[in-house]
Structure 1
Amino acid sequence: MIVNGPANIADSKPHTARMTLRDDRLDALLGHPVALTILRLAVPNSTVMLVQVLMGLLEVYFIAKLGLDALAGVTLVFPLLALTVAISQGATGGGIVTSVARALGRGEFAEASSYPWYAIGLALPLGLATTAFMYGLGPLIYRAMGGHGASLQISLQYSTVVFGGATLIWTFNLLMAAVRGTGNLRLPVIVVCSGATLLVPLSPLLIFGGFGIPALGPIGGGVALLINYALGTLAYAIYLWGHMGLLRPSPTPPRLALAPALTILKIGGVSAIIAASTNVTLTLVTAYVGSHGIAALAGYGSASRLEFLLVPISYGVGGPVGMVVSASLGAGLIERARRAAWTGAVIGAAVTATIGLVGALLARQWIGLFNDDPATIQAGVQYLHDVGPFFGFFGLGFVLYCVGQATRRLAPSLLGALTRALIAAAGGYLLLRWNASLDLNFFAVSAGMMAFGLIPLSSLMQRVGFEADDISSKRTR
């Protein structure tokens, strides 16, 4: 596919405002069959997400060998670290992904090539702000989460190391977003999987010591994590500024405009609220389930491990949907953008619904993998029977959240996420006051998932945000 200009990208010059783009990945975003394009991109995107989850589990495995205090201390830090990654990668990073794809769809090569510099320009202050926030409020947060004694001391040491390098986390994820916005998901797979391979020997080496390297204890895992982010950032920088891909960022910082940065921050800010509301919802559900006893809590914990797969799998589908929608809107291909949104919504809902239904059918076998206590198994089975059939609404809502990033209309997804959190908070509280059964608590969880999926679906049905950019409003397909 040729978009407005000469036939070969090598013939173009980086300073040209609108130029030719001939690239297989851009061709796929704008011209290949929608369903096949989404599925082809979903496989590597899901791989990146799942490998990152496994990297976190790997670190826990090594640190657990240092004892309960070490495990508890690091566990206190993980939710905040996970939230930082989610906000930098999926929220703010989503703003960069969709902005790059939209600019390429319009044929604005120079604009698209400026976004790696926007990534750097945003990563530095946001990373420093994250470091300052955690240095100032981290101790209060960890104490409020129940940290005390040796475990609190370890959490503070680990937090100081990890969040001291928060700028690396932000830079890594925002540069990766610039790469992903071009439709290149192969490089992120290579970088993330290479990092995972590196961490297998590096984490235990730094934690336990060896080969002349002193044992750093729990903070060794944090140091290994930052080394991984630093090397990954370097790999993305070499790729981008070495002009090995579609983008051609200038060697020195250009004059950056305020409007694109504000657009990215607006998308990232609303997306961060949605991500945070999901964490709040899970925390509230855990608290309410815990009021029914330790067996109920243990059963819910075992069952919800299956639910943890929903986010990486849903984002695995939703991320590519956002890319196709963004590029299509930039190119003025409105019907293609809508078709991509509907196709992605169906795929996301179908995949997560299948996980939930299989989990419900094999609930006893799944819970039995983690515990053999009859009361615990019963509670876990009950959760998967009550909530599993509604997993599809979560996948639907998450894909539509990615569509909202692409259309820059995130209000419906925000309303869905906040409604879900409200149901978890108010519904769970009322049921607790009424001494309701565990079944009713789980049905409240299901109702929240339905709200998360159905509220933004109404926006898609009304075509909210599916408008051509002014520069390409006359283009049709």
Structure 2
Amino acid sequence: MSDTGILSAAPDRGTAWRQEIAATLRLAWPLAAANLLQMLVWAIDVMFIARLGTIPLAAASLSFALFGTLMWSLTGLTGMVSALIAAALGRGTGVVREVRRATRMAMWLAIISATILAVAMYRGEAFMLMTGQEAEISALAGEFLAVLGWAAIPMLLCNVLRSYVSALDRPVIATVVVGLQVAVAALANYVLVFGHFGFPALGMVGSALASSVTAWLGVLAYVALIQSDRRLRSFHIFGRWWSPDWSYFRRLIVLGAPVTLTIVAEGGLFNSAAFMMGLIGADQLAAHTLALQLAAFAFQVPFGVSQAATIRVGYFYGAGDRDGIARAGWAAIVVGTGFMLTTATAMLVAPLTLLSLYIDPRAPQYAATVGFAVVYLRVAAAFQLFDGFQAVAAGSLRGLQDTSAPMWIALVGFWIPGLATMLWLGFRTPLEGLGIWIGLLVALVVVAAGLLGRWLLRERFGLLPVQAA
């Protein structure tokens, strides 16, 4: 890693903090931009499928909800390689060997876990029927998922390579690759969904194939850019790819599996909220979808800061620098929470402007939806702060290779007070949809408080390394 934020001379306290914040921002903004562009890649798929009709759109929406949640969770499993790489760089001994083996095993894990996911997607239709979806929608979703599932392999490989280049201080490469994927996704969908340039019109299946094409070109782009960069090339991560190192493989599973369960806990709760809204009414479900989309876009920035925090904290963890760990973690928390304060303010003062990104908020047919959405955005303004905080705090703890306790904090916080509040206020009081959103807020507050306590008491919990001499 370059010496961003770490100087050979000992700076004064104020200078050290300024340097750390600058280093965090330098690492976080390309990752946040890549996160936002990745959402655009998924949005392009939906845009093209929407032109096929309401039934295909419904099938695709359900498919993306299932596949997207599982994919997001597996990125937590493989993405922990960034913490291992950062720690190796911080230690400064045997760096090439450690980085190469950790990255190679992360690629193995990506291929294995993605293959399991792809095979599981052949049961997509059965899952949709089990959740009470219509037979026609379930059949289309099953066909779509059977093809889309195989895109998981290149997608997870992209996640590993993105973690690799980011941990080695080349995060802009991730932004460039995902930006390229946006263009490829649009072209591939245009060609394969509707049939252009001599290709047959494949409909929804064409969009699923377009996802694979987009992801595999992303892998090729990463390989080309890594091989063209002297520093990235010097670790030879593609050499002897067939040679296993089971100690790193096990380490990635031990550290990454709790992250996967953490993501499933959060994603599962938010997906449950959508099903609950559907039981209350169409207008409230539509309003929920719009408000949550805005919150999800805003979340991509602190999510990028969280990824940066894992790397920055992980570097100091490997170096045995406790002061550096504290600066890196708190700097990331300030940056991530500070951004969410800005988006929270926008949700409070300009909700109609934000909603106009999706619909005409003054159109009579959307009056009820807009009314509910404005109310939900007020709650979203509050939970933005806690959502951003818990994401960055979790990322900082991952830099300390602490994932099991945060998993339990998430499981308990999201699924006990959070779900209980949603069910009680949503179905036992007149609050209905607002009650469900208050339940989401309660969950995020509890999880954020738990992670803050874990971070504050990191020394007492034995999470810190022995102070370097």
| TM-score w.r.t. length of structure 1 | 0.87
| TM-score w.r.t. length of structure 2 | 0.88
Matched residue SS, 1:211: coil
Deviation track 1:66-117 (CA, whole Å, cap 9, x = no partner) reads 112221222221012212431233x023311111111111113221122231
- Say if 1:172 and 1:188 are closer, same or farther in 2 by CA, change over 3 A: same
- Is 1:354–2:342 an aligned residue pair? yes
Cα deviation, residue 333, structure 1: 1.5
- Is 1:215–2:201 an aligned residue pair? yes
How far apart are the structure 2 equivalents of 1:437 and 1:214?
50
How far apart are the structure 1 equivalents of 2:312 and 2:440?
32
Tell me the residue number matched to 1:437: 431
Tell me the residue number matched to 2:11: none
Cα deviation, residue 199, structure 1: 2.1
- Say if 1:297 and 1:167 are closer, same or farther in 2 by CA, change over 3 A: closer
Tell me the residue number matched to 1:342: 330
- Say if 1:250 and 1:29 are closer, same or farther in 2 by CA, change over 3 A: farther
How far apart are the structure 2 equivalents of 1:428 and 1:73?
26
How far apart are the structure 2 equivalents of 1:282 and 1:84?
14
Cα deviation, residue 200, structure 1: 2.1
- Say if 1:63 and 1:292 are closer, same or farther in 2 by CA, change over 3 A: closer
Aligned residues of 1:73 and 1:151 also touching (Cα < 8 A): yes
Tell me the residue number matched to 2:378: 385
Please list every run of 5 or more consecutive structure 2 residues that lacks an aligned counterpart in the other structure: 8-15
Tell me the residue number matched to 2:118: 131
Summarize the alignment of residues 11-410 of structure 1 with structure 2, pairs less than 5 Å apart: 25-28=1-4, 30-31=6-7, 33-89=19-75, 91-107=76-92, 108-109=94-95, 110-135=97-122, 137-240=123-226, 244-246=230-232, 247-249=235-237, 251-253=239-241, 255-367=243-355, 370=359, 371=361, 372=363, 373-410=366-403
Matched residue SS, 1:66: coil
Deviation track 1:271-290 (CA, whole Å, cap 9, x = no partner) reads 11111111221123233344
Aligned residues: 446
Cα deviation, residue 443, structure 1: 2.6
How far apart are the structure 1 equivalents of 2:238 and 2:193?
40
Tell me the residue number matched to 1:454: 449
How far apart are the structure 1 equivalents of 2:154 and 2:386?
34
How far apart are the structure 1 equivalents of 2:255 and 2:418?
25
Aligned residues of 1:88 and 1:174 also touching (Cα < 8 A): no
Mean CA deviation greater in 28-37 or 158-167: 28-37
How far apart are the structure 2 equivalents of 1:280 and 1:218?
25
Cα deviation, residue 249, structure 1: 3.0
Mean CA deviation greater in 376-385 or 58-67: 376-385
How far apart are the structure 2 equivalents of 1:227 and 1:241?
21
- Say if 1:145 and 1:158 are closer, same or farther in 2 by CA, change over 3 A: same
Q: Which amino acid aligns with 1:192?
A: V
Residue 417 of structure 1, aligned match among 410, 418, 421: 410
Matched residue SS, 1:214: coil
- Say if 1:98 and 1:153 are closer, same or farther in 2 by CA, change over 3 A: same
How far apart are the structure 2 equivalents of 1:355 and 1:465?
36
How far apart are the structure 2 equivalents of 1:432 and 1:49?
32
How far apart are the structure 1 equivalents of 2:197 and 2:278?
45
Aligned residues of 1:324 and 1:340 also touching (Cα < 8 A): yes
Q: Which amino acid aligns with 1:98?
A: A
Cα deviation, residue 144, structure 1: 3.0
Mean CA deviation greater in 340-349 or 284-293: 284-293
Cα deviation, residue 149, structure 1: 4.0
Please list every run of 5 or more consecutive structure 1 residues that lacks an aligned counterpart in the other structure: 1-24
Aligned residues of 1:412 and 1:455 also touching (Cα < 8 A): no
CA RMSD of aligned residues (A): 2.3
- Say if 1:65 and 1:465 are closer, same or farther in 2 by CA, change over 3 A: farther
Q: Which amino acid aligns with 2:46?
A: V
- Say if 1:334 and 1:276 are closer, same or farther in 2 by CA, change over 3 A: same
- Say if 1:339 and 1:421 are closer, same or farther in 2 by CA, change over 3 A: same
How far apart are the structure 2 equivalents of 1:326 and 1:165?
30
